[in-house]
Amino acid sequence: MKHLSASFRCLAVACVTALLLACAGAPTSVAVKPRLVVFLVIDGLPQRQITAYRDQLAPDGFARFLDRGAWFTEARYAHAFTVTAAGHAAMLTGAYPDHTGIIGNEWRDQASGVPVYNTGDTTAKYIGHETRPLDGTSPRNLRMETVGDMLRRSDPRSKVISVSGKDRGAILPAGKSGIAYMYMGGSGQFASTTYYMTEHPGWVNEFNSRKPADRYFKTQWMPLLPEAAYARSVPDDQPWFGPQGGRLPMAMGAANDAAPGPAFYNALLRSPFADALSLEFARAAVAGEGLGRDESTDILAVSLSGHDYVNHAYSAESRLSHDHFLQLDRLLEAFFHDLDASVGAGNYLAVLTADHGFMPAPEMAAAQGQPSGRMNAGAVLGRINAGLEKPFGPGKWLLGYSASSLLLNKPLIGQKNLDLDAVADQARALLLQEPGIGSAFTRRELESGRLSAAPFFDASRRSWHPDVSGEVQFTLKPNWMFTSNSITTHGSPHDYDTHVPILFWGPSWVRPGRVDTGVEVVDIAPTLARLLGVAAPTGSEGKPLPLPAP
């Protein structure tokens, strides 16, 4: 063997390794693995926007996937409470909240009712930044491993770096053994936490020292296209935007602000500029960590948060969302071109998806003759509690909402020697009297599984975890939402929230093609595991996607 060329020796080793893996029942991969997997998440991007504005895309942003990659037109989530943390936890674990334990962005402790944040961990702190009690600092609450965890177990030289405008968007894809960096709204910098390291590496300090966010101070978010190009979306300054309105051009920073400050840095999140900063930081990570430079596959996860903020404020049907989508398209094009130059176009695999879609604003649905509305969450709790007092006596019978469930006051129920199931049944009956509630199931029903034919039962069960959730799991009717500071939202099992893109690009591993087969986002994890030649995360519920073969 010592007389064989280096390339022939590598090929021989790869063949022998593949044979041993196959004999052992482990997943096999293509002969050459990608040096880098670039996993992209567009927070709050519904599939309908991908197709609605396809003719306005740049040649090499989203179009790289649509024209030269594999894209799945019928990709969905199958859990009911479609929110950011639940989606980000599902993507690379291949499991739904009933396995990951990430049932929402926040929930309540079952015994005390104290709020719990999905990535909260009081033992870890932000590096160089203030940390509040419910800030996201570690993956402690995530009960599953990710593809990155499996990859690093197989090859400890592999690196997993995750970047996002939101803590949960960075921490959950990073898994247990990756490193997460998140945008700090108070400073415009990126930071990790003491869960991952004691201090930042030099390249992070160098990036932050340049204060890149400051260059957007007093910058205008300008529309990319002429006014006529936005005829298919809803014009600016709709009455239901509220008193703050919303129109382009939009200035970054209040008129009376003399210098950048926390209000300005936070406002960048609701614009294309925080996404541009996240991608700029991702470029710095590629260079600083040497991602994709050797034969050990690395993972770079980047979750772009701006679209979610824009859609909450103005809806996915707005011109602002339309333009923000096109801005993302151009940002991705530039990012891909830089990766082509730094890593090599034939050396990396790119995957893009979303953590959830978005419902249209209730006012838009009403204008189209569809039943819709808003409910005051506190008032609903008050009515249910008052209803429970009639058969069970005075008391605070509800501790509050816990993600998408009602948390009953079990200490009080025990103190009064009441049957928990009887109280839950009554709470469920009262909840279903509310005009916007579509379904409700009790703990006993969810654990028994006897109602699997009921609408949204299976989706509700996937969003419910026995150790974390409350006693009555519920969903809302189409086009209904709880009143909040947002113009519209997400978090339902309806198609506008569950239907999201799944896009793959990597000519060495994926042949171009449109796939109309129904698939789920949890299918991404076992697909990547197969391509990387590692085992899928234990407990993964997905199955490999039907990718067109290269």
Neighbours of 15 (CB within 10 A): 11
Q: What SS3 class is residue 442? A: strand
Residue 366 lies in a domain: no
Are 378 and 502 in the same domain?
A: no
| Predicted local confidence at residue 489, as pLDDT | 97
In a shared domain, residues 284 and 381 = no
- pLDDT for 450 equals 75
* Of 151, 49, 4, 88, residue with least CA distance to 528: 151
| CA quadruple 280, 285, 288, 293: dihedral sign | negative
Within-domain flag for 12: no
The alpha carbons of the chain give a radius of gyration, in whole angstroms, of: 24
Whether residue 279 sits in one domain with residue 302: yes
Q: Are residues 271 and 379 in the same domain?
A: no
Q: Which helix (H) or strand (E) holds 145?
A: none
Same domain for 311 and 409? no
Phi, psi of 420 (to 5 degrees): -60, -40
With beta carbons less than 8 A apart as the criterion, state whether 195 and 304 touch. no
Range of the domain at 397: 373-482
Domain contains 40: yes
Q: Within this chain, do residues 347 and 389 fall inside the same structural domain, yes or no? A: no
Terminus-to-terminus CA distance in the chain, angstroms?
31
204, 172, 171: which is closest to 187 by C-alpha? 204
Which token pair is 155?
A: 């090859």
Read off the tokens for 216: 């957007």
Do 162 and 264 fall into the same domain? yes
Place of tokens 């415009």: 188
Q: Look at the chain and report how many structural domains it folds into.
A: 2
Same domain, 520 and 412: no
Handedness of CA 149, 151, 155, 158 (dihedral sign): negative
**CA atoms of 429 and 440, how far apart (whole Å):** 8
What are the two backbone dihedrals, phi and then psi, of residue 430, each rounded to the nearest 5 degrees?
-70, -40
Give pLDDT tens digits for 414-426.
999 999 999 999 9
Task: Say what the pTM is.
Answer: 0.93
296 and 226 belong to one structural domain = yes
Give the amino acid at 452: S
d(CA 311, CA 524): 25
Q: Which residues pair with 452 in a beta bridge?
A: none
Residue among 105, 98, 122 nearest 491 (CA)? 105
- The sign of the torsion formed by the CA atoms of 113, 117, 123, 125 equals negative
Segments of the chain scoring below 70 in pLDDT: 1-31, 549-550
Contact of 147 with 532, CB cutoff 8 Å: yes
DSSP assignments along 49-114, one per residue: HHHHTGGG--TTSHHHHHHHSEEETTEE--SS---HHHHHHHHHH---HHHH---SSEEE-TTT--
Q: Are residues 140 and 237 in the same domain?
A: yes
335 with 391, same domain?
no
What CATH number does residue 171 fall under? 3.40.720.10
Of the candidates 264, 265, 260, the residue with the CA atom closest to the CA atom of residue 191: 265
Closest CA to 400 of 423, 378, 420: 378
3-state secondary structure of 270: helix
Q: Which pLDDT score is estimated for 31?
A: 58
pLDDT at position 127 = 98
State the pLDDT at residue 221: 98
Given 482, 512, 541, which residue is the final one in a domain?
Answer: 482
Residue 99: inside a domain, yes or no?
Answer: yes
Q: pLDDT at position 11, please?
A: 36
Nearest by Cα to 54 from 503, 362, 527: 503
pLDDT of residue 255: 83
- Token code pair at residue 147: 């593809």
